[in-house]
Chain A
Amino acid sequence: MAGIPSKLRYRPLNLARWLIWGLAALVMAALPQLFTQGFAITLMSQMGVAIVFALSYNMLLGQSGMLSFGHAVYSGLGAYVAVHALNLAGTGQIWMPVSLLPLVGGLGGAFFGVLFGYVTTKRSGTTFAMITLGIGELVATCALMFREFFGGEGGITTDRVIGKPFLGITYGPGVQVYYLIAFWCLVSMALMYAWSHTPLGRIANAVRDNPERAEFIGYDTQRVRWFTLIISAFFAGIAGGLSTINFEIVTAENVGALHSAYVLIATFIGGVGVFFGPIIGAVVFTFFVVALSGYTNAWQFYLGLFFVLMVMYAPGGIASLIMMQVQLIARKRFRRIAPHYLAAGASGLLLLAALILTVEMTYQVSVDSADGTLMNLFGVKFDAAAALPWAVTIGLWIIGGAFFNITRKRVARVWSEIHAEFLQARA
């Protein structure tokens, strides 16, 4: 290929791509002007951090086929490096502007990616998953052992307002932090998207799909996995640095197994098959965690159930569900299936109500029984120990289940009819 002069290459301006990225930047810039409450700003900042983290995770899971159970190790250690750097800068021992702190976190994450990645990427598939779990536990137990670096139970606190204000920016107010996070989020998003088009990104896809053939054409699959993991750890570290600035505290939880589980769940719910999937996942996940945890103590149960249902029935995540509808809309068939969606959705709501009643009443009777069994759900007061609410719940389960079974089959039937038409049209 070296003989072909570069000016012969056909490379039109990709207008749609510029439009989408420009729009994304515009939306991120405009959001704090629309939602000005402090709560909304914090939520959006958390979403920005989660987006970077989930995208870096999908570099492994979606693009290279590496299922990691210990990704929080890289974001967490990156956050620790960042928090120490910020504290040193705060006392004037080193010079470093706060705006560049995510980069420090990223370098910290990448360093540990080089170190741990060498061990974990020796294997692939199921064994890789287990080793990442082991490394995750190793780091989590270390976090309680080395108090000087990890700060023990209380973690390490910091203050993001250091030095003289630059152009009036102190990072004291939440909005300024939001814009810093939005900036790094956009840059990381663009870089990670660009990475997926580099030779390494492409070979990572090949190693995911068929490692044997990738080796036959001369690539060391272990090295491809290792390099990918280092880059992924770098972006995870950026997410860690951003969360340091956002929360001004880093604790052992940041490297813990639960944190790793959350990023996996968020990424998968969004969809691992498409680049923008994890972005949706991170936004939806953060919103649900923050919103649900305010309403119910059993929010983790709902989250787990949602995740398991997604694995079973929509393994492509929300992104794949959206793509399916886009296909229907583009071919003007959406109207035909929409009423069936509505019917299935309505019966699904009955089932959801039954589920919520069951879980909340069980919770009231078992865990919160010290406060009595009287409870208040959606503005209705009732006694969770009485027979009537349970009878209503069982009724909801039966009716909802029966209706859902019928409507679900209708959706599936219409769906396959439409697909048969598509195939006919093609032939």
Chain B
Amino acid sequence: MEFFVISLLNGVSYGLLLFMLSSGLTLIFSMMGVLNFAHAAFYMLGAYAAYSFGLKLGFFPALFLAPLVVGLLGALVERYGLRTVHRYGHVAELLFTFGLAYLIQEIVKVVWGLTAVPYRVPQVLDGPLFIVYSTAFPKMRGFMMLVALLMLFAVYLLLKRTRIGLVIQAALTHPHMAEALGHNVPRVFMLVFGGGTALAGLAGVIGGVAFVTDPSMAASLGPIIFVVAVVGGMGSLAGAFLASLLIGIIQSFAIGLDWSLGGFLGAIGIAVNAQTPLYSLWKLQLSQVAPMLPYLLLVLMLIFRPKGLLGTRAD
């Protein structure tokens, strides 16, 4: 029971962090048809920016400043980079963001160094929030969930209840009509790209504290949020939410379990030992294959349900 509750809490908080990233990615994709390969790189920039601001101003001002700076940077990238390559088509856009991801990673290495920076949890958020049976649930994790839920709520209000949200939705489905009605659709695109990267930056501020802030953080998280986007269904926000939670929970449960195929075979009466053929496959524990599970899920999803959980189109 204790294991179940703690794993569930950890999974949900990790899943919410994934959603902070995948929501921006999905928003940008459904709007501009651009898969922002550099999304995780903006997440990393958010973490590093918050670390640098935090040294001077403290954690909470940085929590607001870093996403702002990252969002501004994202808007500039859209205006002066992405818009230039837009006329060459989607492959060129994808290549551009891919190159950008690579470039940002190298810039981070040049400016902040190759090793992890000491970006620590602020004192207010240090320590346990509550204790389940005998395991402590850290305050930082709780804060992570709180910020993610607030962000989710804010994005929902912005898209559904404001005039800007209305224009964004119109530009999403009928860009030409929105333009004909006098809305500056390219500027809306810039806003969405800036907003999406700001969300990634916010996730970085939180994720950088909760995990490690080093130059490989983008490369390790990047593929997972693409998995989320595909599994949830390309361009579906609700799908991204479900897939984020699903992957978060699967991973946190898998890490804590030492089940293996060999153990299962042993339980049903087939003895497995070092002489059995393919022993290296049977002896693998679930906790060892945990990093592999999201990608396995992706492959299975593509075979059995190519449009994703809540997606509407197969391509």
Give residues in A with beta carbon < 8 Å to B. Answer: 65, 67, 69, 119, 122-127, 129-131, 133-138, 141-142, 145-148, 257, 261, 264-265, 268, 298, 300-301, 303-305, 307-308, 311-313, 315, 359, 362-363, 366-367
Contact = CB atoms under 8 A, between A and B. Distances in A.
Given A119-B303, A133-B223, A311-B92, A148 B81 contact: no
B35 A126 contact: yes
B92 to A, nearest CB: 6
B85 A311 contact: yes
A207 B94 CA distance: 19
Contacts of B230: 127, 130-131, 134
Contact of B85 (A123, A130, A315, A359): A315
B306 A123 contact: yes
Nearest to A65: B91
A298 B295 contact: no
Given A127-B230, A130-B35, A135-B295, 11 more contacts: A122-B303, A126-B33, A126-B35, A131-B299, A134-B298, A257-B223, A298-B110, A301-B110, A311-B85, A315-B92, A362-B110
Given A123-B302, A315-B85, A367-B113, A141 B92 contact: no
Contacts of B280: 146-148
B95 interface: yes
Nearest to B102: A304
Nearest to A363: B110
Contact of B99 (A133, A138, A298, A311): A311
Contact of A122 (B227, B229, B302): B302
Chain B, interface SS category = helix
Chain A, interface SS category = helix
Contact of A145 (B90, B100, B292): B292
B5 interface: no
A142 B99 CA distance: 26
A67 B110 contact: no
Given A125-B315, A307-B99, A308-B103, A141 B110 contact: no
B289 A366 contact: no
Contact of A130 (B95, B229, B281): B229
B88 A119 contact: no
B229 A134 contact: no
Contact of A134 (B33, B98, B226, B315): B226
A315 B93 CA distance: 11
B226 A366 contact: no
B100 A312 contact: no
Contacts of A145: 284, 288-289, 292
B60 interface: no
10 contacts: A119-B302, A122-B303, A137-B223, A261-B102, A264-B95, A268-B95, A308-B99, A308-B100, A315-B85, A367-B109
A215 B73 CA distance: 42
Interface in B260-315: 280-281, 284, 288-289, 291-292, 295-296, 298-299, 302-303, 306, 314-315
B259 to A, nearest CB: 15
B19 interface: no
**Interface pairs A-B: 6 shortest CB-CB:** A301-B106, A304-B103, A138-B295, A308-B99, A304-B102, A134-B298
B84 interface: yes
A134 B227 contact: yes
B96 interface: yes
Nearest to A362: B110
Interface string B106-141: 110111111000000000000000000000000000
Nearest to B106: A301
A363 B234 CA distance: 39
